[in-house]
Amino acid sequence: MVIPAAARITGCGFPCVDAGRTALAAVLVVAVATPASAGRWTSAREPRVDGATASWRLECDLGDLKVHGWVEDARADAKCAGVRIDADAGETKEFEACGAGTRKSFSVTYDHINSALVALRLR
């Protein structure tokens, strides 16, 4: 399916790197930033596509990765907006909002995980 926006977090608990990417049609934008202090930092994203919007914050806290935010179905089109979190060596979590104007909040903590891919989807 369409994965219009994603953020991968790596190195939680070590010198961390947040490599986010947004792909819309044939356009690809890559941004890399190094956090101010190793071991603790935050990265936020607010991806949008036609029919779906989301906001999430990823936090690295001394070896644990926390992801929290919301996903919203922005159009009455019989499709659902969803956020999928794929943690390396961890459990995959999915959160869906179905029905125009419906918003679903989420909060997940992965203990001793240093990488996750978070993506907004419309399906």
Q: What is the pLDDT of residues 113-122, one digit of tens each?
A: 877 899 999 9
Characterise 62 by phi-psi region: left (phi > 0), alpha (psi -120 to 50), beta (else).
left
C-alpha 18/C-alpha 74 separation (Å) is 27
Element (H, E) at 69: strand 64-73
pLDDT tens digits for 19-75? 443 332 222 222 223 333 456 788 899 999 999 999 999 998 888 999 999 999 999
Give the pLDDT mean for 110-115. Answer: 85
C-alpha 121/C-alpha 123 separation (Å) is 6
Q: Tell me if the pTM is above 0.85.
A: no
- Provide the pLDDT for residue 102: 97
* Residue type present at position 51: G
**Torsional sign, CA 22, 81, 67, 46:** positive
